């Protein structure tokens, strides 16, 4: 559905959320494949560790919920590289929440991070991509966005919104030469999942997730999801009648 990527050599890639987890491992992998990678997150120290003085790494710190810092980071990258070939928005957060623990302030913080932050990034990058008529945008959502799940009262809806957003972006941008990738991981071993107190089926490492993400883009896939032994099960479950779906989720999670 997107143009295949046969080589990463000298590709200019901006990874937003590159300090830990999937973002950090993806940045490392792309650097090893010859790409030039701009690494962004809040922590300069952590970004420096990920970059590890690689000659093709560029550090551009930002806070995704602060529009001004996103624009400033984008301007810095353009000054160095003139333009970009691919932007990956990986940054995001997770708060466990159920109806009996609903917290409006925490909900709004997660919406700012997972959803409004992505819009901040789009505002910075879309004009350039539309002008140049090429490039790609990848957004990390989650398999939790496929359908409602326990403990994901706010997290799930933010990720469902990102899936919908990517579908709309694809319809608008692909005819204009710009690729769009929606990336839906299952359970990945990252700082976000470290505190989970429930079973995480088919848990994979962040390095494995990065390999799956990059391989999906190389193949030109729009919908990149992994591990498929888990994500395909959720995709199938969402097609069931609600009575059966709710029973299955309750049975599978015990919640």
Assign residue 189 the CATH number of its domain: 3.40.50.720
Enclosing domain of residue 156 = 12-253
Residue 6 within any structural domain of the chain: no
pLDDT score at 191? 75
- Tokens 């590289």 label which residue? 81
Residue 216 within any structural domain of the chain: yes
pLDDT score at 43? 93
pLDDT score at 254? 81
3-state secondary structure 26-73: HHHHHHHCCCEEEEECCCHHHHHHHHCCCCCEEECCCCCCCHHHHHHH
Residue 112 within any structural domain of the chain: yes
Residue 157 within any structural domain of the chain: yes
φ, ψ (nearest 5 deg) of residue 109 = -65, -40
Residue 127 within any structural domain of the chain: yes
Residue 4 within any structural domain of the chain: no
- Can you give the pLDDT of all 255 residues of the chain as single tens digits? 999 999 999 999 999 999 999 999 999 999 999 999 999 999 999 999 999 999 999 999 999 999 999 999 999 999 999 999 999 999 999 999 999 999 999 999 999 999 999 999 999 999 999 999 999 999 999 999 999 999 999 999 999 999 999 999 999 999 999 999 999 999 898 777 766 666 778 889 999 999 999 999 999 999 999 999 999 999 999 999 999 999 999 988 887
Could you tell me the pTM of the whole model?
Answer: 0.95
CA distance 24 to 18: 4
φ, ψ (nearest 5 deg) of residue 18 = -100, 10
Count of domains for the chain:
1
Residue 137 within any structural domain of the chain: yes
Residue 7 within any structural domain of the chain: no
Question: Distance of alpha carbon 5 from its chain centroid, rounded?
Answer: 19
pLDDT score at 198? 64
pLDDT score at 197? 65
Question: Distance of alpha carbon 91 from its chain centroid, rounded?
Answer: 6
């Amino acid at each position: 559905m997107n143009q295949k990527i046969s080589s990463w050599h000298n590709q200019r890639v901006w990874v937003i959320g590159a300090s830990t987890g999937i973002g950090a491992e993806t940045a490392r992998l792309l650097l090893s494949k010859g790409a030039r990678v701009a690494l962004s997150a809040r922590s300069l120290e952590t970004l420096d560790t990920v970059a590890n003085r690689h000659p093709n790494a560029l550090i551009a710190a930002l806070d995704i919920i602060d529009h001004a810092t996103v624009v400033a980071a984008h301007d810095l990258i353009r000054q160095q590289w003139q333009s970009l070939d691919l932007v990956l928005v990986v940054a995001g957060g997770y708060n466990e929440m159920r109806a009996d623990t609903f917290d409006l302030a925490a909900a709004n913080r997660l919406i700012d991070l997972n959803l409004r932050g992505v819009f901040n990034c789009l505002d910075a990058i879309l004009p350039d991509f539309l002008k140049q008529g090429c490039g790609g945008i990848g957004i990390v959502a989650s398999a939790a966005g496929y359908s409602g799940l326990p403990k994901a009262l706010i997290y799930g809806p933010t990720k469902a919104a990102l899936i919908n957003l990517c579908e709309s972006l694809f319809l608008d941008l692909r005819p204009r030469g710009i690729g769009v990738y929606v990336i839906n991981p299952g359970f990945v071993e990252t700082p976000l999942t470290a505190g989970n107190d429930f079973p995480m089926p088919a848990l994979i490492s962040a390095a494995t997730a990065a390999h799956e993400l990059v391989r999906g883009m190389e193949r030109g896939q729009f919908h990149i999801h992994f591990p498929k032994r888990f994500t395909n099960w959720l995709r199938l479950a969402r097609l069931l009648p609600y009575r059966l779906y709710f029973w299955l989720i309750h049975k599978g999670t015990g919640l």
